[in-house]
A and B are shown apart, each in its own frame.
Chain A
Amino acid sequence: MSRSIFNPTGTLNVSWDASDLPGEVSDNTEVSGHMTRCKNLRINQHGKLATRDGSAKLNTTAIDTDVWWIEEMSTTGTRYTFAGDKIYEDESSLATELTEAQWSAMQYNAFNDTTKQIFALNGTDRKRITAGAVNEWGLAAPTVAPTLGVGSGTGLTGQYNAKYTYVRKVGTALVSESNPSPAADAAVVLNNQSLTIDITDPTDPQVTHARLYRTLAGGSIYYLDIEVPVSTTYAYGYAHDWESDDAYIAGTGYDFTVTDSTHGTENTYTWEELFADREDEDSPDDPNYGGGWIGSGGGGTYNESTGTWDSIP
């Protein structure tokens, strides 16, 4: 009689004819470890096979089914999943209405930024992802040229032009800066005067500052003049809807407010134009009838440590 022994020491092979797979024959016994099937079995221990390890869901509620990419932030363990038209952070939606296409991503941080971030793209969208936030990857250059004028100061004589850039700073470190805007259409000629520069507000919320560059007198190369924080956003309350939408009762007899054309509001008191409160203790998070403050600057002098206005100009 002949004896055949199957000892799973070989490999899965569906390429060879199953009867041509090698075996060792001695004393009417053939021993072979080669396999023609090996499904869901671990092969990492010599002489034996074991059922492979299992799997488990991490999220209980399904996200979009078109999963393009998963990136695990190596510093925090947070998962970022690009699926459908969304980006998820630990399976919670973080960004929506993106292009549905194959994403790829990498992790890195700029040399002067200690926070590792995810940079991802899909051919249409380019995103920079940090904990809880999805921003554009890089800063788009301003497309609108600055408006130049003659200021009230003194000191500059000659022909000047200017450009500006948008900047993202982390703390005091400049991490990203856009390319410059176009130059003003026409240079300004000054005679011991100062130069005024009006620029366009950024629409990208990651911009923290703007940098203004101007030429030397008669020059064509632009040098940094000043860096300024971007716009401050104020919030203010109102008692009646018409205060918000200007739908107040027609007729001068009822028009007891003053139109502030600069800010597009109707004010009862002049201090409202300043978007500053009375000298009581309103905090930024507790706006009163006079208005609250949610920005990083103000019309008066705001003491962030105490949450009060020290003075109102």
Chain B
Amino acid sequence: MTTYTTPINGFDTYTSDGGLGLEVRIDRDRPPLGSFVFGPAYDGTCFIIFGNRLYYCKPKQPEAWPALYYVEVGAPQQPGTTGIFHGGQPHYFTVSNIYYIQGTGNGLFQPIPLKTKTGAQSSRGAVSVDGKGIYHTGPDGLYLYSSGSDHKITEDTLEPIFRGTTKNDIPGVADMSTSWLHHYRNTLYFGYSSTAGGYPTNVLTLNLQNNKTAYFVYNDGSDLEIRAITTDDTNERILIGDGTGFVRVIESTSNADDSGTAISWEVQSKDYTLPTRKHFPRWVKYDVDASNATSVTGELLLDGSVHHTHTITGNRVTRRRLVGEGNGNRAAERISGSGPATIYSAEFE
């Protein structure tokens, strides 16, 4: 079997001049070969970042990008990294600035630089959260732009991490250019790599209601490299693409492990100190539901070193657990384990 295509030619027209139709349009260019696309705006305008230009299409016509439909934003040396909508208006990011794109329609768009401390370090380095503002990545932490001011929200609690220092087994940030921010429901997720040029294996979460943070790492035998993340609106879940070629659902209430591997976890208290003397701990109580866990261990630390270890089982068995003789200026409690567990409190005297 072979094929033959008849050419479309040989049209013989004698339509009168009065019978002709509309004038040919010359504003149907293809989209520019940009680096980032976002849209549509409420009027159907879509945007493409190409160098330091922000192109836009004809409203409601995402396949028509007139060649001169663009505004230059910032200096050519600072190309755009990403764009988002916030409050219905497009916002354009470079690594060091945020621009509010004012106006609607061709010839009316104007980039207005906002008074921010930084911009976005990657194509997924900014998200808009209604009622909060714009969360964005700086080279030294996460920022929240809201009501005309830009606050570094990680300085108070996570500063060493963003200076590249591993602290309490939370790896330091090595490369913000591959990091990402993702907002899902009441949580902001920040993925980062602790290896230069690598992709995120570490995730910091921020609860947007109580502003508490936690550190997540996904591991099904080895730490997962989360290269892409999105929200599956249809099924109401978060999807990730990992560095082993699998698309996964995470934060799934239907799953208590990571693809069959029990989730290892840990929590540690502050260092308790006494003003005039050392701690001489005698016993520890753990209020933990470990009934479904694979294993749970409680540890008492003195001056940063493990002084005594207890195995914890059962559901909220809070009897006193004796500890060995010893003393220290600083005392802390650490509870770690794997599998489903709930930690309520710990106490020592």
B31–A137 touching, CB < 8 Å: yes
Q: Is the CB of B319 closer than 8 A to any CB of chain A?
A: no
* Segment of A223-231, A249-257, A276-284, A304-312 engaged in the interface with chain B: A223-231
A179 and B235 in contact, given A57-B246, A233-B4, A234-B6 (Cβ under 8 angstroms): no
A53 and B11 in contact, given A74-B233, A180-B26 (Cβ under 8 angstroms): no
| Cα–Cα, bound, A189→B209 (Å) | 76
B346–A6 touching, CB < 8 Å: yes
A197 and B217 in contact, given A11-B157, A176-B64, A223-B20 (Cβ under 8 angstroms): no
B255–A53 touching, CB < 8 Å: yes
A152–B12 touching, CB < 8 Å: yes
A18 and B1 in contact, given A123-B35, A228-B8 (Cβ under 8 angstroms): no
A226 and B11 in contact, given A38-B215, A83-B245 (Cβ under 8 angstroms): yes
B211–A11 touching, CB < 8 Å: yes
| Cα–Cα, bound, A92→B31 (Å) | 27
In the complex, what residues of B have CB within 8 A of residue A104's CB? 35-38, 123
Chain A residue with the shortest CB-CB distance to B224 = A55
1/0 per position for B210-248, CB-CB distance to A under 8 A?
Answer: 111111111010001001111111110001111111111
In the complex, what residues of A have CB within 8 A of residue B274's CB? 2
Chain A, 72-91, CB within 8 A of any chain B CB: 72-74, 76-77, 79, 81-83, 91
A121–B37 touching, CB < 8 Å: yes
B170–A179 touching, CB < 8 Å: no
1/0 per position for A105-134, CB-CB distance to B under 8 A?
Answer: 110111100000001111110101000000
Q: Is the CB of B147 closer than 8 A to any CB of chain A?
A: no
Chain B, 255-302, CB within 8 A of any chain A CB: 255-259, 263-274, 279, 282, 293
| Cα–Cα, bound, A3→B281 (Å) | 9
Q: Is the CB of A173 closer than 8 A to any CB of chain B?
A: no
| Cα–Cα, bound, A92→B273 (Å) | 58
Give the Cβ gap from B50 to chain A, nearest Cβ, in Å: 9
Q: Is the CB of B46 closer than 8 A to any CB of chain A?
A: yes
In the complex, what residues of B have CB within 8 A of residue A48's CB? 342-344
* Segment of B96-104, B127-135, B161-169, B305-313 engaged in the interface with chain A: B161-169
| Cα–Cα, bound, A155→B20 (Å) | 14
| Cα–Cα, bound, A255→B265 (Å) | 83
Other than the known A39-B267, A151-B14, A197-B11, what 12 A-B pairs have Cβ atoms closer than 8 Å?
A2-B274, A41-B267, A51-B342, A54-B257, A56-B259, A65-B244, A72-B230, A106-B39, A154-B14, A179-B25, A199-B8, A224-B23
Enumerate the 7 nearest inter-chain pairs by beta-carbon distance, A residue then B residue, closest first.
Answer: A67-B241, A62-B245, A54-B255, A224-B21, A77-B234, A138-B30, A198-B9
Contact sample, A vs B, 24 pairs, CB 8 Å cutoff: A4-B347, A6-B333, A11-B210, A21-B271, A36-B268, A36-B269, A43-B213, A47-B344, A53-B253, A67-B242, A72-B230, A72-B239, A108-B62, A110-B60, A111-B44, A124-B33, A140-B30, A165-B28, A176-B63, A199-B9, A221-B23, A233-B3, A235-B3, A265-B4
